[in-house]
Amino acid sequence: MATKGDKEIEAILKAIDEGIIDFQEAIPKIQEKIYSKLLLFQKELSVQGETITNTVKNVKLLSNIKQDIESIILDDTDYLEAVAKFSKLYDKVTALNYSYFKSIESKFKPSKVIDEVRKQSVSLVIDGLTEAGLQTNFINPVREIINTYVTTGGSYSKLSGELNNYINGYNSDAGPIDGSFVKFTKQITTDAINQYNAQVNEITSADLGWEWYRYVGSNIKTTRTFCEALTKKEYYHRSELAQIIKGNFKEFKEMKGEIYNKTGLPQGMYDDTNTSNFPIYRGGYNCGHQAYAIPTYLVPQKVRNLITTK
pLDDT of residue 47: 93
Residue ranges of domains in the chain? 1-209, 210-310
Sign of CA dihedral 83, 187, 138, 163: negative
Q: What is the pLDDT along the chain (310 residues), one digit of tens a residue?
A: 567 888 999 999 999 999 999 999 989 999 999 999 999 999 999 999 999 998 999 989 988 998 999 999 999 999 999 999 999 999 999 999 999 999 999 889 999 999 999 999 999 999 999 988 999 999 999 999 999 999 899 999 999 999 999 999 999 887 889 999 999 999 999 999 999 999 999 999 999 999 999 999 888 878 899 999 999 999 999 999 999 999 999 999 999 999 999 999 998 899 999 999 999 999 998 898 999 999 999 999 999 998 864 4
* The model's pTM: 0.88
Residues 166, 145 contacting (CB under 8 angstroms): yes
Task: Give the count of alpha carbons within 13 A of 118, CB side only.
Answer: 20
Smallest CA-to-CA distance from 216 within 16, 17, 10, 19 is with 10
Residues 276 and 258: their CA atoms lie apart, in Å, by 22
**Residue 213 bridge partners (DSSP):** 236, 293
At 16 the pLDDT is: 95
